[in-house]
Structure 1
Amino acid sequence: MVARIVLQQADIARALTRISHEILESNQGPADLVVLGIPTRGVVLADRIARVLDEIEPGSGSVGTLDITMYRDDLARQPTRTPVPTRIPAGGIDDKVVVLVDDVLYSGRTIRAALDALSDLGRPRAVRLAVLVDRGHRALPIRADFVGKNLPSSTAERINVRLTEIDGDEAVTIDDAGRLESTVSNGGGGSR
């Protein structure tokens, strides 16, 4: 199966701009807003969203990184994950509206780990979820509040997100799992 491009660079930029507007509308402005990216590609997306938020409402780009490595339920199967430092903005997360950002929402297990990690850092007033792609197939009752693209797929397919800052090019593709495994093992884009 040939990889099918579903989002190109301009599509990704439009989706992130729309998500940023939706975040501000949902929050009724930028007050008490903290955007946290989940490594790896969620961090890049969170930084981009924070920049757009700051363009729309100057001073609203409070952004950080939430490492979930030690909270994952697959750590025993994938023990080689390298933790990334968690960076929380100076104001912390207590009584704030935290927007978690990830590239692909699939089973919900990554987000469950993020919620566990977040609870160890403080008590937000609310937690929202923004994802570039929602592919379905949830194993847990997790739902994204802000979605760039809903992309129904089969479990045999993989969604591959490539971002310029990490991969040198930019696209979201859908591919069958067998063909993509060699790409991912050779340092290809994030996929689920």
Structure 2
Amino acid sequence: MSPSPQDPVPREAEPSRSQLVTPDDFGSLYQRWLAGIRQTTDTLEDWALVGIKRRGAVLARRLLEDLGGSAGGGGQGLAYGELDISLYRDDYHLQTGAPAVLGTEISFEVEGKSIVLIDDVLYTGRTIRAALDLILDFGRPRRIWLAVLVDRGNRELPIEANFTGEFFETERNDRVQVRLKEMGDDYDGVDLTSFVEAGA
């Protein structure tokens, strides 16, 4: 999930950290998610995996390997791409300073292709809205499915995932982070940081 503004943390709030998914449980969560995606994509002939940078793209690369694809979309193997939605965010005009632009990599023909869009966490829906706009700038796909490892609720736009690893009920000012070793984390897991007002 591309970083997005959260609701303000209450003044004098103290962070409380916990694990929604432990390293021991992460593998089974990922495998269930993978199985759901594979069940649908096994029947498709012309489709692509597209990950949203940064952690969505890391998960997409894992899926690509497990589904038997190869990055790039050329020759044999599954078509693959990565999106940088920095300039498509609806709060772009509110940001101070230049955004960190990571670059979009789409080397296949989007027109008429079925696409599975991958992200780590589904929250307000605004990241996904930006990703859809970016994909449509490349062409008109036949269909887009959305696959997220974690759905934390609190939607602001009418967007839902077709494939979800796990749903967790969270508060709006909570922080949910998918930990991935490829991102330099010490473990794979899902962490929750809640903020409780001091003395509460």
Instruction: Give, in angstroms, the shift of residue 129 of structure 1.
Output: 0.6
Task: Select 1:21's aligned residue among 35, 45, 55.
Answer: 35
* Relative contact order, higher structure (CA 8 A, sep 6+): 2
Q: Give the partner amino acid of 1:149.
A: E
User: Alpha carbons of 1:60 and 1:22: their partners in 2 closer, same or farther (altered >3 Å)?
Assistant: farther
Which one of the candidate residues 108, 117, 130 is aligned to 1:113?
Answer: 130
Root mean square deviation of aligned Cα: 2.1
SS at match of 1:2: strand
Q: Partner letter of residue 153 of structure 1?
A: T
Greater share of residues in helix: 1
Report the counterpart of residue 175 of structure 1 in structure 2: 193
* Residue equivalent to 2:162: 145
Count of residues paired in the alignment? 175
Q: Which amino acid aligns with 2:105?
A: R
1:132 corresponding residue in structure 2: 149
- Judged with a 3 Å threshold, the aligned counterparts in structure 2 of structure 1 residues 46 and 2 are, in CA distance, closer, same or farther, namely same
- 5+ long unaligned stretches in structure 2: 1-14, 70-75
Gaps of at least 5 residues in structure 1 are: 180-192
How far does residue 12 in structure 1 lie from its aligned partner after superposition? 3.1
> Which residue in 2 is equivalent to 1:87?
105
Percent identical among aligned pairs is 39
| Matching residue's letter, 1:42 | G
CA distance in 2, matches of 1:60, 1:26: 17
Of 93, 105, 114, the residue aligned with 1:76 is 93
TM-score by length of 1: 0.82
